[in-house]
Amino acid sequence: MIVTRPTLKKTASRLVIAGILGALAGSPALAQTMDAALARAYSANPTLNAQRAAVRATNENVPQALSGYRPRVTASADIGASITESDTPFNSQGTGSPHNRNLSRTNPRGAGLQVDQNIFDGGKTRSTVSQAESQVLGARATLQNTEQNVLLDAATSYMNVLRDTAILNLNRNNVEVLEEQLRQTRDRFQVGEVTRTDVAQAEARLSQAQSQAILAESNLKTSIARFRQNIGIEPKQLAPGRPVENLLPKSLPAALNIALTAHPAIIAALHGVDAAELQVKVTEADLYPVLGVRGVVQQRYDNQFFGDNRTSASAVATLTIPIYEGGQVYSRTRQAKETAGQRRIEVDTSRDTVRAAVVSAWGAHDAAKAQITAAQAQVQAAETALAGVREEAKVGQRTTLDVLNAQQELVIARSTLVTAQRDRVVATYAVLSATGRLSSDTLKLKAERYDSRKHYDQVKGLLWGTQTPDGR
């Protein structure tokens, strides 16, 4: 169980908050750290690994496109049996003479080799190769964006577990305090110092606290499940999370400039435009003539009669000129142009999305820092108020309800501080992600770096073979 039961002392509750959600932290040598969790997510997250596989699949578009420059070689062979029966007269007149019946059997067979080489195809192969390369670059940018999202989800999950554990501890501590408060109120009721109403108020507030503790425990279980989903292991002893403010741009305008220039989502959209525009050229190429050369070599046996052997060879230049194909190519060309227009609009959408994400994350970060300052003051004031109300209640100047309200305000203040501290850490990672700089390299994670160019270099020039570079 990753949650330990809190003590009743005020100092313990302060430690839960002051350690920036370090309620799970155990021995420093054994505690899981944020960097270790992010490194594991980078290496083992299935969403990220699936996107890496998608990039490898996209890499294969390049050798497929390059095949348009290469010859097509096919071999053929056939074998069969042929029986010929003829009936001819002995003399040339064929009158009144017996006939001669001839029966011949042959086994016609042969083999051939055909080579087709493209000479000119209207630039279709050249455009297809360029399009495949743009798709590869776009897939790499999409992979970078996926890496950002996975790391941000992992950091958020990590901090959510810490936050929800701290809040659960606060609520359990509140239950213990209210149980003690209820016991004291009942004792005072027995001696006539308070009324039955005071007892009922204490009982109601205790039930409310127990309900909040149950809800907090449910929220923690949900956060643990998300932690397992995003990072791949169960949380054990989590070290306190720390903001990465030293990696952030100095100002909001600087953050916007970085994001709009280098965010992988925008880069992927731009490569999508390139691929769509090249698709227009690929489609238009079907309207142009195609020039090629075909070479054929054949060897035949028993082609017409037994023992007949023939060898033939030919080299032919072929020119195919499309005249009219029913309007299909024209329609596909117009369709490709509309798709290219759609991709250009999507670039603007990506820029607007990135801009909004940067402004939102930056604002959340500023708000979290301000909330921490305010919440710390709120906690200090609430602790002072609670201590004063308790002393005043002892001499009859405050009611039981006043004490219960002060206790509740302190729990709320501490929970607000815990949440603000969590929000500050998450906001720093969100700013990095919004600017396009959240990566294993930026965070210097201790994980083997995945190089998407390695597989590309391995398959780009392959001429044959069905085995993948990793042996599958």
Domain presence at residue 471: no
Amino acid identity of 234? E
Per-residue pLDDT at 95: 53
Distance CA 464, CA 470 (A): 16
Domain presence at residue 156: yes
- State the chain's maximal CA–CA distance in angstroms: 153
Distance CA 13, CA 329 (A): 73
Per DSSP (E only), the strands in 176-289 are none
Domain presence at residue 340: yes
- Burial, 127: exposed, middle or buried (Cβ in 10 Å; 0-12, 13-18, 19+)? buried
Which residue range forms the structural domain that includes residue 72? 10-85+102-459
Report the domain count for the chain: 1
Domain presence at residue 65: yes
Four-residue CA torsion sign, 412, 418, 422, 427: positive
Distance CA 440, CA 426 (A): 16
> Which single residue is written with the structure tokens 């030919």?
314
Distance CA 361, CA 335 (A): 38
Query: Residue 445 carries which DSSP code?
Result: -
Domain presence at residue 94: no
Domain presence at residue 2: no
Residue 97, sorted as left (phi over 0), alpha (psi -120 to 50) or beta, turns out to be beta
Per-residue pLDDT at 280: 94
Number of H helices and number of E strands within the chain?
Answer: 12, 6
Four-residue CA torsion sign, 87, 89, 92, 95: negative
Per-residue pLDDT at 15: 38
Per-residue pLDDT at 236: 85
Q: CB of 431 within 8 A of CB of 248? A: yes
Domain of 282, CATH number, reads 1.20.1600.10
Domain presence at residue 472: no
pLDDT digits (tens), the chain, 472 positions: 233 333 333 443 443 444 444 444 444 455 788 999 999 999 989 999 999 999 999 999 999 999 999 999 999 998 888 777 766 665 555 555 555 666 677 788 889 999 999 999 889 999 999 999 999 999 999 999 999 999 999 999 999 999 999 999 998 988 888 888 888 888 888 888 888 988 898 889 889 889 989 999 999 999 999 999 999 889 988 889 899 999 999 999 999 999 999 999 999 999 999 999 999 999 999 999 999 999 999 988 876 666 678 888 989 998 999 988 889 999 999 999 999 999 999 999 999 999 999 999 999 999 999 999 999 998 899 888 888 888 887 777 887 788 888 888 888 889 989 999 999 999 999 999 999 999 999 999 988 899 889 888 888 888 888 777 876 7
Q: 328-394 and 400-434 are packed helices; what angle lies between their axes, rounded to 10 degrees? A: 150
Domain presence at residue 150: yes
Count of C-beta atoms within a 10 Å radius of residue 390: 15
Amino acid identity of 92? S
Tell which residue, 456, 457, 458, 460, has the closest CA to residue 63: 460
